[in-house]
Amino acid sequence: MNCLTAHSPSDKGAVRNGRPLLRERGQHEVFCGLTGIIWLHRKIQDAFFLIVGSRTCAHLMQSAAGVMIFAEPRFGTAVIEERDLAGLADMHGELNRVVENLLDRRPDIRLLFLVGSCPSEVIKLDLERAAEHLSRAYAPDVRVLAYSGSGIETTFTQGEDACLASLVPVLPQEPDTADRSLLVVGTLPDVVEDQFLRLFTALGIEPVRFLPPRRSTDLPAVGPQTSFLLAQPFLDGTVRALEKRGAQRLAAPFPLGAEGTTAWLAAAAAAWGIDPERFQQATELGKKRAERALERYRDRLAGKRVFFFPDSQLEVPLARFLANELSVDLVEVGTPYFHQDYLAPEVDLLPPDVTLSEGQHVDKQLERCRAARPDLVVCGLGLANPLEAEGLTTKWSIELVFSPIQGYEQAGDLAELFAQPLDRRQRLGV
């Protein structure tokens, strides 16, 4: 789904972290926040995501998740028909019936998200109120929450942010006597979570919990004794909700590559006052494995010129990884939003001459990209095909969100994701 919107023109004078930042507002190409359901429904194993939307929303989800649909997917769409849009039907009554049928059929569901869409927002369907009412009706077996996955003015990763932010108010309060705890915030594949847990244990940091949890019955407690590390940079709403509960964010780069993972772990180690020698012992082997894995890709990627279009909000950490660990030459690093607070530690690590841009005026950015003729363009699905047709090599940024890329053990796989399209282009000899 491409949502195109017009705004004010470029602002070339903006500065972030002492660096020039090109801010653009114009037509932009994005996927909507419903897309987050694709990875969220695989993570929270007893949750169901009920999109309250149109047939377009259902089609988007089916094509985006096409390869991943199995016998009983944990998401579906309650389709708003035309007569509903015209206000001719009792939408709340219909929604109640859909939920009743669903919960009868699927007694394994413990957490139900009502996911708002453009159509549900247009008809001003109050899904929060509906969720409160349904939660009361199905308590204590099923909790019902609501959030918006609407495509207006969002990026596709904001769906995860809205989902996690909706969970924060129902997280248990940590007891007054609680010891300090660490919360890792942002969806990570289970295998990556397990690796991080082993590293934190080796560092002597515990208890460590994850948001979202694998099961809704394992919601982590939060409060003033909770420090949290972001595993993803696109969780602004969740951060604000956690801070409101008294939790404190630990500033750190994101755990991509050997450098990012070490710095991310070091932020927690510093907050826990871990001895540098212990830190070295706990991280040395993993770091070396990551560096060895990356060596294999350096020849293939060093000196390649990469252009990032704004899409996933992961662009700045990915660019830092490519530049510092694989000697990639960054042409432009575009990101939909430049969250100064979360990205400052990343920007500090970027090479000094990188062009950073925030927002999008797609035509102007395409012009810059065509003029630069980069070796690889990282962009959304909507731009990839036309750019490939023009002879440019592309990487879908959404793939980088679906794939396990965080941590030492995934550093080589992350490099592979960038090397693949370049190899393919070389094999095709075009």
Q: How many residues does the chain have?
A: 430
Binders of ligand SF4 in range 99-118 (CB under 6 A): 117-118
Instruction: Please say whether the beta carbons of 395 and 370 come within 8 A.
Output: no
Out of 57, 263, 269, 293, name the contact with ligand SF4 by CB under 6 A.
Answer: 57
Choice between 52 and 192, CB closer to ligand SF4: 52
Choice between 100 and 153, CB closer to ligand SF4: 153
Name the nearest CA neighbour of 120 among 84, 68, 145.
84
CB of 387 vs ligand SF4, minimal distance in Å: 22
CB of 373 vs ligand SF4, minimal distance in Å: 32
Name the nearest CA neighbour of 335 among 107, 30, 111.
30
Alpha helix (H) residue ranges in 110-210: 118-122, 127-138, 158-167, 190-203
Choice between 54 and 187, CB closer to ligand SF4: 54
Out of 21, 22, 32, 185, name the contact with ligand SF4 by CB under 6 A.
Answer: 32
- What does the per-residue mask of binding to ligand SF4 show for 133-152, with x meaning CB under 6 A? ----------------xxx-
Beta bridge partners of 77: 51
Give yes or no for residue 85 binding ligand SF4 (CB under 6 A).
Answer: no
Choice between 3 and 344, CB closer to ligand SF4: 3
Choice between 54 and 410, CB closer to ligand SF4: 54
Choice between 53 and 310, CB closer to ligand SF4: 53
Name the nearest CA neighbour of 406 among 260, 288, 296.
260
- Judged by CB under 6 A, the stretch of 51-59, 101-109, 188-196, 303-311 that binds ligand SF4 is 51-59
Give yes or no for residue 158 binding ligand SF4 (CB under 6 A).
Answer: no
Name the nearest CA neighbour of 270 among 203, 190, 349.
203
Instruction: Please say whether the beta carbons of 89 and 64 come within 8 A.
Output: no
Out of 53, 237, 317, 359, name the contact with ligand SF4 by CB under 6 A.
Answer: 53
Give yes or no for residue 56 binding ligand SF4 (CB under 6 A).
Answer: yes
Out of 34, 91, 112, 392, name the contact with ligand SF4 by CB under 6 A.
Answer: 34
Name the nearest CA neighbour of 147 among 14, 21, 37.
37
Binders of ligand SF4 in range 321-380 (CB under 6 A): none
Q: Is the peptide bond before 255 cis (omega within 30 degrees of 0)?
A: no
| Number of C-beta neighbours around residue 59 at 10 A | 12
Instruction: Please say whether the beta carbons of 22 and 97 come within 8 A.
Output: no
Out of 3, 197, 221, 344, name the contact with ligand SF4 by CB under 6 A.
Answer: 3
Q: Is the peptide bond before 119 cis (omega within 30 degrees of 0)?
A: no
Sign of CA dihedral 345, 35, 131, 75: negative
Residues that bind ligand SF4 (CB under 6 A): 1, 3, 32, 34, 53-54, 56-57, 60, 117-118, 149-151
